[in-house]
Amino acid sequence: MEVIIQPNSEQASLLAARLVKKIIMEKKKPVLGLPTGNTPLPLYRHLVKMHREEGLDFSQVVTFNLDEYVGLSPDHPASFHYFMWKNLFSQVNIRPENVHIPDGLASDVEAYCRQYEEEIKAAGGLDIQILGLGTDGHIGFNEPTSSLKSRTRIKTLTEQTRKDNALFFGAEENVPYHAITMGIGTILEAKVCLLIAFGKKKATAIARTVEGPVTSMVPASALQFHPKAIIVVDEEAASELRLANYYQWVYDHKPEWQKV
C-alpha cells in the first residue's frame, strides 16, 4: 500500500484528481470505477475544472459506479444516479451510454448483478477504482463481515451506515435498508485502487485499513492484498496511523518518475 498524507482535503483531492487525469490521458478507453459520498466531491470538482480549463477529454471514458440504493429511481435526489449526474457527468463530455450505475429498481436483482459484472469484464476491467471509506471501514456498501471475495450483489446496510447517510434523505427513517454494491472481489480486480478519506471521523477506519490485520470486520483492509492500492488522506484522517512519519518519508523520497 502507498499512503500519501496531504495537509488538507483540498490538496489531497487535487493530487487524487491528477492521478485520475493521468490514467484518463494514458488509456485509449479508460475505465473508471467511481464512488459517491461527500469525500469525492472536491475530486470531481477538480476533474470538471480540468475538463474546462485543460481540455481533459471524457469522450472515451467508461464508468462503473460502485453502488446504488435498492428501491430508488434514478431521479430520486438521494440516489447515486442523481448524485453522479449532478456532480460530474453533466459537467463533462462523457457519453451517456458509457456510464454504468447499478439499477436500484432492477426487478431480478441477482441476474442484474451478474450482468453488471459481465459489463465490467466486457469493458476490459477497471483501470482505476476510486473509493471512499465508511466510518466502519466499508468500501462501496460492503459492510463488515462481507466476504473478501464477494462480487456485485445486494447488501443490507448497518445501522451506522444508515445514520451516516441520513443527511441525504432528510431523516434516518427514509434511508433504504438495502443496496446493490460491487463486491470486494470485484474491487480488488481493478488495476489501481485509490482510496480517499478525510477528517478526524475517518482516522480509526484508516488506521485499521492500513495497519490493522486483514479482516472482513474492516472490509477496506482487503486492499492490503492489492498490488497497487494508493491511500490518499488528509492529516486528520492520518492522525491515528502509527507509521505516518514513515509514509511521509517514503513520499518525500519517491524517485522522480514515480511522482504524479
Annotated catalytic residues are 67, 136, 138, 143
57 or 172: CB nearest ligand GLP? 172
C-alpha cell of residue 201:
471521523
- Residue 76 Cβ, how far from ligand GLP at the closest point, in Å? 15
- Residue 202 Cβ, how far from ligand GLP at the closest point, in Å? 7
Helix/strand/coil for 260: coil
The CB-side HSE value for 175 (13 A sphere, CA atoms) comes to: 17
37 or 243: CB nearest ligand GLP? 37
The phi and psi torsions of 142 (rounded to 5 degrees) equal -80, 95
Name the site residues for ligand GLP (rule: CB under 6 A): 35-39, 66-67, 132-134, 140-141, 161, 165
Q: CB nearest ligand GLP: which residue?
A: 132
Which single residue is written with the C-alpha cell 484522517? 237
3 or 131: CB nearest ligand GLP? 131
- Residue 257 Cβ, how far from ligand GLP at the closest point, in Å? 31
Pairing mode, strands 2-6 and 128-131: unpaired
37 or 251: CB nearest ligand GLP? 37
204 or 248: CB nearest ligand GLP? 204
- Residue 187 Cβ, how far from ligand GLP at the closest point, in Å? 10
Distance between CA 16 and CA 253 in Å, rounded? 19
- Residue 133 Cβ, how far from ligand GLP at the closest point, in Å? 6
The CB-side HSE value for 116 (13 A sphere, CA atoms) comes to: 30
Q: Is the distance from CB of 31 to CB of 140 less than 8 angstroms?
A: no
Distance between CA 20 and CA 192 in Å, rounded? 10
Distance between CA 117 and CA 105 in Å, rounded? 17
Q: Is the distance from CB of 38 to CB of 73 less than 8 angstroms?
A: no
